[in-house]
Structure 1
Amino acid sequence: MQSDKRVPVLVTGGAGYIGSHAVLALQDAGWPVAVIDNLSTGFAFAVPDGVPLYEGDIADADLLARIFAECGTKAIMHFAGSVVVPESVKNPLKYYENNTVKSRALIDAAVRAGVPHFIFSSTAATYGIPEETPVVEDAHKSPINPYGWSKLMTEQMLADTAAAHAMNYCALRYFNVAGADPQQRSGQSTAGATHLIKVAVEAATGKRESVSVYGTDYETADGTGVRDYIHVSDLASAHVLALEQLLAEPGHSLTMNCGYGRGYSVLEVLDSVDRVTNRPIQRRFEPRRAGDPAALVSDPSRIRGTLPWEPQYADLDLIIRHAMQWEDRLSEIRQG
């Protein structure tokens, strides 16, 4: 499957959490890479030295045309967008603008420039509350919030575009992404992040007083919600392998879950944080949040059967250790 041709790649949102790790994975593997990011939630320091950073909007057709021409772009990895689920409920039009309308503009610019390969950062939120778990890609998709709908709409646009134009794509549906680059080159840096492991390590470092546990009466082993956590560097490596697959089979597109197929409850995660950091954190028990499924765990059979993807960091304690190391480093970066 390995392609001997490493084409120039444009990473949208490449100064953000997952995008910056994809940039590192591409750079480590020898791909020419450039970044476009408006830095609304990303950080210039997350973009490695030597990688061009274009500060701007993915809906700016003139800027995109210039980038494509200057970089010779042949593939796009699209991470730019808004990702906070509760915010999407309160401000749905922001999410349809940032995640759907602007993705449409990006896809249009790619078609006009003849960019033939597109990898899209999608989400398990497209499934809504799954009828069965682990969740397979062909499961019924009924998002329960505007965030999930905004991503599913973009998946549909890509499918229709690939049917009409010389483009293939891969939509990767993430489960719960956590951790940080093992070499501490990047990590989750966004203030006010809502992901459990990020919140927990902030509490362990004294940046938060406590961690809220939403719901203790689910039909799970300990009553708290169960999720599938994937290390961000394993996720990034999946993007590089997916790109190689798109180059190897130009007429074929892919949709795949990105997870380990193993669920951990909220309390199991917090126990792991206590164990790894030796800094027990205060837990606040709150009512369930509307729309939270009891369990959301991936079936990774398709990605494991399609790509030579061998996760290197599929261990909850290790994910938390890397997240904690980055949290300490982030404090140094902000003080420096």
Structure 2
Amino acid sequence: MRRLISLLLTLSLLPAVAQAKAEFKIVTASERGTYIQIGRDLAKYIAEPADISLEVLPSKGSADNVARLRDEPGVKFALVQSDVYQAFLDQAASGNRSAGRIIRPLRVVMPLYNEEIYFVARADSPLNYIHEIKDKKLSIGPVGSGTALSATTLYRLMFNQPLPEANATYVSNEEALIKLTTDKSVDVAVIVAGQPAKLFADMKPEARQFIKLLKLDDKAAETRRAVETYYPAAIRPSSYPNWITEEVPTLTVKAFLVTYDYNLQHTTRYLNAFAESLCQNFDQLQAQGHAKWKEVKLELPALGKGWSYYPPMERTMRNCIAQRTAQTGSRPVAAPGAATPARACTQQEKVLGLCGS
């Protein structure tokens, strides 16, 4: 009788066990950035239907996300800028063992959208164009952030030299604006965020008295060098009606949703469910999520050298996309195109968080 009661109790618990949600995490960026809103959309509209409880974590940014996806328990997804991902690959190819250990097991889920790069100066600054930032004091985001990588990469591309460390300040976006407008210890704050970014959208009209955006001059030689890696874009007044009154030309970098090359059956099953949900509920993301979702295409274009999709999720999504295409009769539009101890740590390694590894 005791055995029978025990068996019945065990069986009564099975449905609860079967319905238990997987508990995953996604690393994003600052609390007032676009990445964290994208993460919350994925948790609400994609993870929930896939029976996944997705905890959305703030972070220092893309480089920090890459390292945390590799090493932090429970983190199954990360939002990463394309130039940060490529920088890790380049460091690995150059012999940096730490970079190789971190990046080689990472896999792409899908490309997302382009993030605008904001060059913010004081309203009374004599600077008007992005290519005028040479030799100026720049706030470029925390070490480990995608912003720091983008800012230092852009500086090197535009001026054929690294940003002098004496001119670099590694602080958060909020701290950067304070330093820019109060103690004036920086001349320009470089911020990477998809528009509309909460940091700027929450500003009052009085902000115009204190800060302005530098413009991209497509005739400048520095710009021509920059667009070999980054893409021209515009920051729209509709995104920040309290702040800007006309389009401001700037540069962008692509954002990616990234995971790890998992082989545990339990994890793979839930990641496949996430991929199916992402495909099936994509329209809801675009209709009810952050405005940036409207710029995302449900497709898996060819990736650059050294990049690869996570095969189980790729198969699931390609099958689902094909079914959606067959049902609608439409065709997806193609997308546009280890260090030795004695060697000094480079600026790129520093912003990737690889120094001292």
TM-score normalised according to structure 2 size: 0.27
TM-score normalised according to structure 1 size: 0.29
Tell me which structure has the larger Cα radius of gyration: 2
